[in-house]
Structure 1
C-alpha cells in the first residue's frame, strides 16, 4: 500500500513539475511582450513607491499617459539621468542597464 501511494505521489509531482515549466512565449513580436512584462515587474519593484502602483503619482508625477508625452528614448534618458520637476526630482540611476531599457519600453506604451 505504501509503495502504491509513493508511486502516485511521485507521478503527481512529476506531472505538476512538468506543467510548471511552461512553454514560454508564442509571441511573434520580437520579445516586446517579454520586455513589457519585465518593465512592469521592474517598475513595481523600483518605481511604484514614488509613482504609485497604478502609475497615478504620489511623491513623483502621474505616469498613466507618459508615453504620449515622451518617446521611449526620452523616458530612458530621464530614467538614466534624472529630472527636476514641479513634483520634486527624479534621481538618476535608480534603474540601470537592461532594466532601464525595459522600464522605458513599458512606460512608452502608456498613452
Structure 2
C-alpha cells in the first residue's frame, strides 16, 4: 500500500513539475545583426507570435510536445480550429484535466493563447 501511494505521489509531482516548465531556457536562436532592411518595425502579429511560441517552448512544450503533437498533454497543433483565443486563455487560467491552473500568467498567457488560436 505504501509503495503504490508513494508511486502515485511521485508521479503526480513529476507531472506538475513538467507542466510548469523548466527554468533552463532552450538555447536562443541565433539572431542576424541589424541592417537597414531589418531595422524596420515588424508587424505586431509577428512579435506576438514569436512571444507566444517562446512562452510555449519554455512552459508548455514538456507536456504538449515540441511540434504541438501532444505527449502527456493533448495535441495542440490544430487547437485554433476548435477553440478561440478566449477559450484557450480560460484553459490556461483555470486548468483542465491534469493541467494545473495558471501555468503561465498575464501577458505570457495572452501571447501563448493568441499564438495557439492561430493553429488551425
Give the TM-score band, short-chain normalised.
Answer: 0.7 to 0.9
Provide, for residues 77-105 of structure 1, a one-character-per-residue CA deviation record: whole Å limited to 9, x for no partner: 00011012xxxx11101100000000000
After superposition, the CA RMSD in angstroms is 1.4
The structure with the larger Rg is 1
1:104 matched residue in structure 2: 113
Higher helix share: 1
Could you state the TM-score of these two structures normalised by the residue count of structure 2?
0.67
> For residues 94 and 108 of structure 2, what CA distance do their matches in structure 1 show?
14
Which stretches of structure 1, 4 residues or more, deviate above 3 A after TM superposition? 19-22
TM-score by length of 1: 0.72
Q: Structure 2: 5+ residue runs without aligned partners?
A: 1-32
Match among 65, 83, 93 for residue 70 of structure 1 = 83
Structure 1, unmatched stretches of 5+, are 1-18
Q: Of Structure 1 and Structure 2, which has the larger fraction of its residues in strand?
A: 1
Residue 64 of structure 2 corresponds to residue 51 of structure 1: yes
